[in-house]
Structure 1
Amino acid sequence: MLQGTSVTYHLNGKKSLEVEYIEQKKHGYYKTFHSNGKVSYEGWFQEGESQGNWITTDELGTVLMQTATLNSESQGVSQEFWPNGKLQDETINQQGWVKTYTQYDTTGKVIHSIDLSNGTGKYTMVHLNGKLYAEADYIRGSIDGVYKYYYFDGSPFSISYYKRGLRDSTYKQYFYGGQLQTSGQFRMGEKTGTWTNYKENGKKYTTEQYVNGEVQGKRIYYFDNGKTDTEVSYESGSREGWLSKYDSTGALIYKIKYDNDMPVSYTYLGKDGQAVPEIPFINNSGKLTSYYANGNISATLEFSDGQFIGGLKYYHSNGKLRSESTEQYGESEGPMREFYPDGQLKAEWMYIGDNPHGKYTSYNSKGVKLEEGTYYNGMLNGPVKYYKENGQLKETRIYYFGTLLDVKK
């Protein structure tokens, strides 16, 4: 019988969860933690039901949301905040239903408000410039029918369909400018069938199969030339079987065997073109050094309890460094760099807690800057500049904590 304080930990030794139980029911203060030790979610349980104010906090310690609950349903005021602490929106709920919704600009002024007191009406949101951001039908306390999001100028961002509050049917999301970014399908709130993601240049980025909301079968990542970057086998959402990674020419970097989402062994091609005997990981931990069939090194990395830790390096088949980063139990931390096959720097970022944070820059193969901007905890923030191949400024996009506000040519 669960009784008293229960504490679980991240692989780095920091707390991941702290909760009190009385007779197997959560009762008392509840906390979850980010891997850096900062609180991510906290509030009170009473006899298994959430009560009172619950707070969501990001990895940097900023409060993102406060939600009032009663018997595990939203009841009262719920507020969302921008990462700079400014109020973004406020919802008044009654037994899980939205009564009113209000949005604010960056100075605290109300820019939009809707009243859904009877549980039915048009649910809308606006951009900071006042133009429509989202629209859907709210029927008897749930979103029902088509749900559309728009960019600041009215161009489509995404379109999905809901049935009694759950996503159902097709889903499409677009880059600014109209290029398809994601396509897939939901069935009663869960992903199903084939999902495909694209890059902004129109090239395919990933394909994956879902069954009942879990990845099932192959998840494949692609290079811009159409060749496979990484192919992973899944069963019920967990890696099972072989993960194969390649360079852009199609040469194998390595193959890692997974059992119940944990790495158990690896192999690569010997100089005879045949896979070398499987090299085991001990307790899902150990170093990996692999080679191309031509004898050049292809990768160096290390697992600890099934997660990447320390330096992670990949190489082009000509022996030149392809990318380098530092991992802390599966989360990228610190600088990350990519290189062209001739050694020319391709891109560089900084990561904190697996999210890009700070300035980033990308270059063409001649060293000319193609793109530069700034991330804040995974969100683009401020000006992002795009350049032509000759270095001439092409356009500037202005972001506010992940939201595109304007584009200047």
Structure 2
Amino acid sequence: MLRNTLPLVLALLSLAACRTKVEKVEAVDAYGYTERYTRSPEDYARQGRYQKLDSAGQLVEEANFVDDTLHGLRALYFENGDTQIVEHYQMGTFDGPYRVYYPEGGLQLEGQYSQNEMKGDWLKYYPNGQLMERVRFESNLENGPFVEYHENGNLKAEGTYRNGDKEHGELRLYDENGTLERKMDCENGICRTTWKREAPSN
């Protein structure tokens, strides 16, 4: 469904380019990809909708340009035509939702950029759609609470990251049934066990 709506969105974004005189360009690069776009005849700056197709004519990328700068939605596609990555730009800067998809079509990763920085909660999913991880980002680094899940949906781990994927504070680990197995005390990614569930006696 998303794949079918993206061309319409990009076409609407490119309407602004129609207000000024532009020329159409179609060229094949050194790798055999065909690029289609419009540009200003004065400075050759790309304006409006941009498309890249492989040697078989399959669309692999489309985006929107303003004054030769990425602005708005950009999408990359798998060989079968399904959406691979959807990202947003504000005059060349990552800004807005970011999503990555599995080849089979399911959502793999989603988060939010603000002025080139990953911020807020980022979510990663298993191929079956089950949430794999939720982690807080700040300044492009994992900074804040995180929760991980087993593929069956049960809790796997919970704790806090600081300045990247370095556990800091209490870390709790769970087995596939969601039963607490271990508690650890961490400092900048170095953890020591403070409690461990005893193995059941025979």
State if a TM-score over 0.5 links the two structures: yes
Query: Could you tell me how far 1:217 is from its partner in structure 2?
Result: 1.8
| d(CA) in 2 for partners of 1:150, 1:196 | 21
Q: What is residue 169 of structure 2 aligned with on the other side?
A: 241
1:91-117 per-position Cα deviation (integer Å, ceiling 9, x unaligned):
xxxxxxxxx98252xxxxx34246866
Any gaps of 5 or more consecutive residues in structure 1?
A: 1-99, 105-109, 270-291, 297-317, 319-409
1:119 and 2:59 matched: no
Correspondence 1:7-406 to 2 at 5 A: 102-104=29-31, 110-113=32-35, 118-121=44-47, 122-127=49-54, 129-237=56-164, 238-259=166-187, 261-263=188-190, 265-269=192-196, 292-294=197-199
1:20-64 per-position Cα deviation (integer Å, ceiling 9, x unaligned):
xxxxxxxxxxxxxxxxxxxxxxxxxxxxxxxxxxxxxxxxxxxxx
Q: What is residue 4 of structure 2 aligned with on the other side?
A: none
Q: Which has the larger radius of gyration?
A: 1
Which amino acid in the other structure matches residue 188 of structure 1? Answer: Q
Contact 1:101–1:114 (CA under 8 A) maintained in structure 2 = no
Aligned in 2, Cα 1:264/1:193: closer, same or farther, shift over 3 Å?
A: closer
Contact 2:33–2:52 (CA under 8 A) maintained in structure 1 = no
| d(CA) in 2 for partners of 1:219, 1:230 | 8
Contact 1:171–1:185 (CA under 8 A) maintained in structure 2 = yes
Number of residue pairs the alignment of both structures matches: 170
Q: Which one has the bigger strand percentage?
A: 1
- Structure 1 vs Structure 2: percent identity of aligned residues? 24
Query: Could you tell me how far 1:139 is from its partner in structure 2?
Result: 2.5
| d(CA) in 2 for partners of 1:144, 1:222 | 36
TM-score (norm 2): 0.71
Contact 1:103–1:113 (CA under 8 A) maintained in structure 2 = no
Contact 1:160–1:171 (CA under 8 A) maintained in structure 2 = yes
Any gaps of 5 or more consecutive residues in structure 2?
A: 1-26
TM-score (norm 1): 0.38
Larger RCO, structure (CA 8 Å, separation 6 or more): 2
Query: Could you tell me how far 1:204 is from its partner in structure 2?
Result: 1.0
